[in-house]
Amino acid sequence: MSNHENLTIPRPDDWHVHLRDGEMLKAVLPFTARVFARAIVMPNLKPPVTTAARAKMYRDEILAALPKGLKFEPLMTIYLTDASDADDLAQGHKDGIVTAAKLYPAHATTNAEAGVTDIKKIYPVLKRMQAVGMPLLVHGEATDPDIDIFDREAVFIDKILKPLRRDLPDLKVVLEHITTQEAADYVSAEGENGKLAATITAHHLLINRNAMFMGGMRPHYYCLPVAKREKHREALVKVATSGAPMFFLGTDTAPHTRAAKESACGCAGIFTAHNALALYAQVFDEAGHLDRLESFASRFGPAFYGLPVNNDLITLEKSKHSEGDIKPILTGDGRQIVPFAPLSPVVWRIAER
Ligand code: NCD
Ligand code: ZN
């Protein structure tokens, strides 16, 4: 059609998703699996996925929940705790059950209560991961309650990540869902050798912290790490659309029920799986770098993880009009998930085949 602009790229992967389990899993999985060929699945279930055996069970649950006819490969992760077993991790990685392990500093985010209390406690595990080439995925926020919430990522990089990478320089590390200029600068400077990378969410490319307070409290714009000032959002757009291979797509789509979000102590997490790729396309288009979406979404992630680029293709199209508001998604047990609503109209969408 003459009023459409198209972009065809290899099918992308999502290098950071929360699929949950039970009815929530069934409700959200189709959105991710329709668009993404593979996804790194976060292990912060209740209780968390702390062993290779649990990861295998969780993978089976995801595959069983997959709608017929959809092809999707969940790439499993293990939740690190003070008691993690290096042998179990290494064996799970060798057997192809687990792709990576996730570091949640204790209490840093949703379901992080069982996380690591002191990075030194898991050094033997991290050394083993370094030896076998298993990536460490990091929720990069310092957890000292005295640190201002908007400074927690920058402090984590200085106090935890830099010393860790000095001690274990060959460990592959992904700093997940970066939100600051400091993270963008650090990963740009240190990621050259393929040992350090970062995922960037669509929502952190689209909103700054003002979104949470537009005329009142807006819980559906609240996630962790929390959105920062506009200058940080601009820094993220710059590196995401720069063509630098150490930055790639990870939506951090994190569904919670409407009741859990709209509460006196609302959960952190933004659900973007329903239109994440279109949101990224919008950002790249507005930045004048639509040609670089392909490497960010479909090439740099597989390169970092040592996996092939997907064979099949997906087409995005730009239309003159946005699709407008997206209705809440219903779970099988009658709960609602409120999808992320961008502040300006999204004119990109996945073309129907
Ligand atoms: C995630 C969740 O809900 O599991 N929440 C979030 O705000 N991003 C956890 C996480 O990735 O921090
Ligand atoms: Zn996450």
Please say whether the beta carbons of 184 and 235 come within 8 A: yes
Token couple for 185: 């600068």
| pTM passes above 0.95 | yes
- State the distance from the centre of ligand 1 to the C-alpha of 206, rounded, in angstroms: 17
Residues 6+ away with beta carbon under 8 Å from 104: 44, 79, 80, 111, 112, 115, 116, 139
Residue 200 has pLDDT above 90, yes or no: yes
Tens digit of each residue's pLDDT (9 = 90 or more) over 108-156: 999 999 999 999 999 999 999 999 999 999 999 999 999 999 999 999 9
pLDDT value at residue 274: 96
- State the distance from the centre of ligand 1 to the C-alpha of 2, rounded, in angstroms: 41
Q: How far apart are CA 108 and CA 93, in angstroms?
A: 26
Active-site annotation holds for 252: yes
Ligand 1: nearest atom to the Cα of 176: 11
Is 18's C-beta closer than 6 angstroms to any atom of ligand 1? yes
pLDDT value at residue 74: 98
CATH code matching the domain that covers 6-350, chosen among 3.20.20.140, 3.40.50.300, 1.20.58.390, 1.10.1660.10: 3.20.20.140
pLDDT value at residue 322: 83
Is 141's C-beta closer than 6 angstroms to any atom of ligand 1? no
pLDDT value at residue 325: 79
pLDDT value at residue 323: 77
Residue 67 has pLDDT above 70, yes or no: yes
Tens digit of each residue's pLDDT (9 = 90 or more) over 182-193: 999 999 999 999
Please say whether the beta carbons of 175 and 195 come within 8 A: no
- State the distance from the centre of ligand 1 to the C-alpha of 105, rounded, in angstroms: 13
The number of the ligand nearest the C-alpha atom of 17 reads 2
Is 252's C-beta closer than 6 angstroms to any atom of ligand 1? yes
pLDDT value at residue 63: 98
Q: How far apart are CA 62 and CA 53, in angstroms?
A: 14
Q: How far apart are CA 293 and CA 285, in angstroms?
A: 9
- State the distance from the centre of ligand 1 to the C-alpha of 110, rounded, in angstroms: 5
The number of the ligand nearest the C-alpha atom of 14 reads 2
pLDDT value at residue 326: 86
pLDDT value at residue 106: 96
Residue 2 has pLDDT above 50, yes or no: no
Strand-strand pairing, 336-337 and 329-330: antiparallel
What is the mean pLDDT of the segment spanning 316-332? 90
Is 19's C-beta closer than 6 angstroms to any atom of ligand 1? no
Catalytic residue (choose from 13, 88, 252, 285): 252
What is the mean pLDDT of the segment spanning 38-57? 98
Token couple for 12: 């992308």
Ligand 1: nearest atom to the Cα of 267: 3
The conformation of residue 107, written as its DSSP 8-state character, comes to T
pLDDT value at residue 353: 59
Residue 207 has pLDDT above 50, yes or no: yes
Cis peptide preceding 67, ω within 30 of 0: no
pLDDT value at residue 4: 62
Residue 1 has pLDDT above 50, yes or no: no
Q: Which of 95-99, 106-110, 228-232, 249-253 has the lowest mean pLDDT?
A: 106-110
Tens digit of each residue's pLDDT (9 = 90 or more) over 296-306: 999 999 999 99
Ligand 1: nearest atom to the Cα of 177: 11
Q: What is the mean pLDDT of the chain?
A: 96
- State the distance from the centre of ligand 2 to the C-alpha of 2, rounded, in angstroms: 39
Is 110's C-beta closer than 6 angstroms to any atom of ligand 1? yes
DSSP output for 181-196: HHHHHHHHHHGGGSSE
For the chain, domain boundaries: 6-350
Is 138's C-beta closer than 6 angstroms to any atom of ligand 1? no
The number of the ligand nearest the C-alpha atom of 112 reads 1
Mutate to test the pocket of ligand 1, among 109, 265, 267 (most ligand atoms within 8 A of CB): 109
Residue 3 has pLDDT above 50, yes or no: no
